[in-house]
Structures are given as C-alpha cells and as structure tokens.
Amino acid sequence: MELKLDVHLWPEKRYLPKSMRGLCPTPDDAQKCLWRHRDRQQYFVNKCMAEHKMMNRTWVLLTDVDEYLVFNQVREDDPVMPLDEPPEGIPIMSSWKYHGNTNPDMGGVVDGMVNGKYWRTMPLKPKTDVDYGNVIVDVFDQKHFLRDDVAHLESTSLTEAPPGVPTATNPFLAGGGLYFQIYNDTYDNNTDGAFVSIIMDWKVGDEKRRNFYGGHLITDTKGRKYFMENEHKFWPPHYLNKYSMAARARLPSLYDGTTVLDVLKAEAKEGYTKRALGPCISIPRLLYGSREDETKNSNSAPEGFDENDFVTLRYRYHAPKGEFEASKFGKTIIDVSRVPIKALQTKALNIHRPLMYYCRQDPTRYSVSLFRVNHYLDSFEAYSYRNDARSTQRHCKECYEKKGKGAAAAADDDIQPWLRRFVKLVGHEKAQKLLSKAGYFAKLE
C-alpha cells in the first residue's frame, strides 16, 4: 500500500559532533545527562531545519511525540485578554517583577516603578493573573496596570549605535561582571569580536537591570556607554487585542479540513496579521492530564478504531488555560525559507526558543495566539515508557499523579474531530494501516 510518507532516519553522525554521540558517559549523574540530552536536542533541531531549508520547505513545526498542534479558537474559559491601555484611574507599573508566595492561600507580590518611584504591592489576591496588560489587585484592593515592558523597550530602541559608541553582542552575566563581544571599541581598541567584561552598578531587582535590552545604551561604573545589539530587529510585533481576537474569530473548525498551512497562508494576506506573522511563531502549550470520565464523546472514534488507543480522544481534561505552572514553556513553528542558513549552522538556543534573533524572548499570551499545542500526560504506562535522560522523573508515580492533578481544571473536545476527518481523507483501509500500532508499547531493551 502506498502511504505517501517520506521518512528519514538519521544516525547520530548525521547531526551530532563526536563528543555528543552515544550514551551519557556519566549515567550516575542525572543532571549532567539531562544537560547532555538537551544539547543533543539543540544540535538536532537546527540540523533538521537546515535540511528542510535546503529542500525549499517553508513552515517547520518543532514539537514532541506527545504534542499536537490545534487551532486556538475562542472559548468561554479563555484567560483574560491583555489590555493595550490601562483603565481610567489605574496607575501603570513598569519594570515590574513578580515574586511568588509559598503559601497557597495567599498571592505573591509585584514590585516595579509607579510614577517614577519604586513600589512594592501588598500580597495579591489569590488566583490573580499576573501578566503584562492585566490589572492586578492586592488584598487591600489597590490596583495596578502591568505595562508590557518588552513592547515598550522595543518601541523605544535604537537601530544602530550612536557615533563613537561601541556595540556589544552576545552578552552574559557571570561573577558580577557583564561579558560580551565588542565591535568598534573606541575605548580600548580591542579587535572586533573580542570578548570583554565590564562592571555594572546593577543590583538584583534593580530597574536598570530589568531594562537591560537590545537596542538600548548601557553605562558601566566608569561612565562608559555601550550599545547593546538589537537582537529583536527580526521579531514579529505583539498582536494588538482587537486584531488578535479578529484573527482567532476567523479560525475554521477542525471538521472542514482546513490545515494549519491554509490558515498561515490566509492570515499572511491580512494587513496587521501579515506584519505580525514573523518567521518564528511562538505557540503556548496546554497540558492535558490523566483524568478520565464517562462524559467523553462516545462517537469520537470511527468504526474499527478504539478511542482508548488515542490520547487525543481518551483524555479531555486540561490545566487552566494560560497558566505557566502546569503547561510550562511553549513551542514554535518556523518558516525556514525566511531564516538565513547561517542562523542554522550552530546548535539551537533551546527547544522552546530555537533562534535568538527570530523567535521572541517573551512567550506568547494564550489569549492572543492563533494556535496552541496540546501536550498530553497520557497513562502512566506511556509516561514512564521513554527511556531518556528524564527517566528518573518519568518513573516517579508520585510526580506523575501530581502533574495530573494540576491538569484537570476543565474539559474540551476541540481536537477530537481529527480522526474522523483523517479517515475520510485517506480512506478507511489506509488509515487502519497507518494507525495500526496506536496505543501499543513495544518492549524496550
């Protein structure tokens, strides 16, 4: 039977340097093996995207085998939409930072700048959604509007260094110093690309440190100014609320056969969306837990298929939408045709934000995203099946149950039409062939 699938199995030498091949050399050090696992993943990600680019492909989705991309249609249980402007009479807090509370009955606090002065809130009311564009309320009913600091810094950034000011790239903090590669060093005449270090008068939580951002000037303790390279010049802008809601309202149903690629092509023709759809789209994740009940759709699986073999049909309960604690960092879909091959010749930054200069640093808000990634905890058998660097945690039943409890806030059937549509598209016989091992776990040696 012709399945029309182009599958390539890569040996390690196809994408890894020699030092990263084979099993972890320190199996008794779980942390080192985990970092090695992530390094290997980062090498693979960019090699994979480079391969697709050379094959003249466009959008490449970077997800795990337990994650599925769906349209993020507007629903009643969506988190609050961020506001573009504060409500009348509500003071704006900028350069803000959230500090959590270990007491589950009391919220954390937020500190930042209000009217040019440092301000620290009282404990927030429980379940306060702390994110940019939101109004937060403390236990004394004092309200503050959290400014979108990233958007503000982008809007006030410089495109290039002022005359006579050196440019700093690839910065990192270590041992109290700020290290970076310097170009046009008018102070000490270092060669372009040399690594240098300077001392800043930053303190932890200091406003100056929070505003450390590409496209802006910094001043060291000697009074010397440096221009931080504008690493976000290729980033897409934030969606404004009215445009993002209009785009989400245009999303089709899974029943009509429209694909993600169809939506991307259609939205690229819209005025604002065309500008906002950059080459790297960050997508929020939503964790689905292990809770099952008798209210699931008994007609979700076509004749000849068992819904219990498919996590997307078996598990309907998920974590609160937009809550980071359960669903964690998002994933990306990248148009490799708009990324230069040079950007893919080193390992990725990380799986959640592979490309520094093309993927936004700040995660996409759930309520303004066109898509979401459903991430399935699955059964404990499936959860503990993979034997990788995270196997210690994956064999922890208590850890599994804790994750499951945090992912049972609400239920939906958004993804369930996929199987019936798939069978209709490829035919019953081919669908059974392709899905014959779904829900089956072969014994690992």
pLDDT range class, residue 163, cuts 50, 70, 90? very high
Percent of the chain with pLDDT over 70: 92
Per-chain mean pLDDT for the chain: 88
Q: In what order do the strands lie in the sheet with 109-114?
A: 117-120, 109-114, 92-99, 143-146, 135-137
Residue 333 has pLDDT above 70, yes or no: yes
35 is written with which tokens? Answer: 């970092």
Q: Which residue has the higher pLDDT, 151 or 444?
A: 151
Output the DSSP codes for 209-256: HHT--TTSEEE-TTS-EEEEP-TTTTSPPPPPHHHHHHHHHTPPPGGG
User: Residue 238's pLDDT is what?
Assistant: 67
pLDDT range class, residue 272, cuts 50, 70, 90? low
| Rounded CA separation 129/112 (Å) | 17
User: Residue 284's pLDDT is what?
Assistant: 95
The residue among 137, 129, 145 whose CA lies nearest residue 83 is 145
User: Residue 51's pLDDT is what?
Assistant: 96
Cα distances from 35 to residues 204, 285, 438, in angstroms, run 26, 22, 31
Query: b/e for 196-223, b at 16 or more Cβ within 10 A?
Result: bebebebeeeebebbbbbbbeebebeee
| Rounded CA separation 17/9 (Å) | 17
pLDDT per position as a tens digit, 39-70: 999 999 999 999 999 999 999 999 999 999 99
Residue 444 has pLDDT above 60, yes or no: no
| Rounded CA separation 111/114 (Å) | 9
| Rounded CA separation 88/384 (Å) | 52
pLDDT per position as a tens digit, 186-233: 999 999 999 999 998 887 557 778 888 889 999 999 999 999 987 776
User: Residue 144's pLDDT is what?
Assistant: 98
pLDDT range class, residue 364, cuts 50, 70, 90? confident
pTM, to two decimals = 0.84
pLDDT range class, residue 396, cuts 50, 70, 90? confident
